[in-house]
Structure 1
Amino acid sequence: MTGRRQPRKITPRSLENAATAYLQRFAASAESLRRVLMRRVQRSAAVHGTDQDQGAALVSALIERYGAAGLIDDRAFAEGRAVSLHRRGQPQRRIRHHLAERGVAAADIEAALAALDEADPPDGVRADTRAAFNLARRRRLGPFRPEAERAAKRDRDLAALARAGYPYALARRLIDAETPEAFLHAEDT
């Protein structure tokens, strides 16, 4: 039976290599990178008896250096992730929660959500309305469902939008719209 490989002893070079490898694979906030590196420090301390405080200082210095060099930019991370989640049909409330879980500062979250509202298409549709529309289109809910199935699946469609975090009034307006265009034009009035 084979076990897990023993973690390496933490050195400034090993932490930098780990951080670089992580950032090459994933978009990350400063806090999410800190969490990844601190797990390495803790494993090293448990196996090799290295000093966790010294490891934490190395991690903090590395993150500060990467931030100054522009390798980590929480605002850009927040804006990119917000656009991605919005495109997938996530409401702003869920986007805010997702970014907060990743350790993004509240000011950066608000800036990212404001950028979403500013980036709305010229038709004047709000970001959450557009996201609900995208989710309904992707999952074939409401006006995107064949007419013969709509009445029978109405409650199920409303529940899907509620689970996604949309308010009932918005979900009902979308599910009860005759056509997708009717829903979008109802938003204008």
Structure 2
Amino acid sequence: MKDPIVASSAPNHSRRPTPPVTAAYLERAALHYLERYSASTEMLRRTLRRRATKRAQARGEEPAAFEEMIDAVVGKAVAGGLVDDARFAAARLATLRRRGASARGASAKLAAKGVPREVVEAAMQAEGAQNNPEDAEIDAARAYARRRRLGPHRPPETRQAHRERDLAALARAGFRYDLARDIVDTDIDG
């Protein structure tokens, strides 16, 4: 039987010290992130900032010292075409609209992802140039109602009892009242 005091006094070699934040580390982190996710410039910057802060705090360093390095890596990614806010906004907008996001809801979600307002507006205008903006809004409202099982997608015996709740759900999603009313009151065939 081993003596517990002797066994616990052995040095712990399993933990290595945290390596420093370097430009190479940030570049690897950026590439790893961009391999997995499509991102806006601001999303990449936030991710790198979070990674640098975690590593700097583990080493007892000040995270603000790495801002220039983060900006340089983000600039490299933009220059290399790995990050493009316009491309990200167009793709994300198409996805959001297919899932049933209103124009207001989609622009708010893009803004939350750090996409600049002028890029969001350009993506919205490009979407409007491809098809009628009103038709896109109607299609998005229908998709939202279908996904959330609102209005005509409810069992017929519960539709009237949940009508106000369904209208409110569409309004909270950013759809106009008249459009919400049309979607809730229509039949699936209509």
Give the structure-2-normalised TM-score: 0.82
**Pairing partner for 1:141 from 144, 147, 150:** 150
**Pairing partner for 1:38 from 25, 49, 64:** 49
The Cα offsets for residues 77-127 of structure 1, whole Å up to 9 and x where unpaired, read as: 011111111111011111111111111111110111122223337xx8522
In 1, Cα distance between the equivalents of 2:156 and 2:64?
63
In 2, Cα distance between the equivalents of 1:181 and 1:96?
30
The residue aligned with 1:79 is: 90
Contact 2:97/2:140 (CA < 8 Å) preserved in 1? yes
Contact 1:86/1:95 (CA < 8 Å) preserved in 2? yes
In 2, Cα distance between the equivalents of 1:102 and 1:34?
11
RMSD: 2.2
Deviation beyond 4 Å, 4+ runs, structure 1 = none
In 2, Cα distance between the equivalents of 1:110 and 1:38?
27
Q: Secondary structure at the match of 2:161?
A: helix
**Once structures 1 and 2 are overlaid, which stretch shifts more, 82-91 or 168-177?**
168-177
Q: Secondary structure at the match of 1:78?
A: helix
Q: Secondary structure at the match of 2:39?
A: coil
In 2, Cα distance between the equivalents of 1:26 and 1:92?
23
The Cα offsets for residues 13-65 of structure 1, whole Å up to 9 and x where unpaired, read as: 11111111111111111111101111222223323244545411111111111
In 1, Cα distance between the equivalents of 2:89 and 2:18?
32
**Pairing partner for 1:65 from 76, 80, 90:** 76
1:151 Cα deviation (Å)?
Answer: 1.7
In 1, Cα distance between the equivalents of 2:134 and 2:58?
55
- Whether 2:146 is the aligned partner of 1:113: answer no
Contact 1:7/1:43 (CA < 8 Å) preserved in 2? no
Structure 1 unaligned spans of 5+: 183-189
In 2, Cα distance between the equivalents of 1:72 and 1:128?
28
Q: For residues 114-133 of structure 1, what are the structure 2 equivalents within 5 Å?
A: 114-120=125-131, 125-133=134-142
Radius of gyration: which is bigger?
2
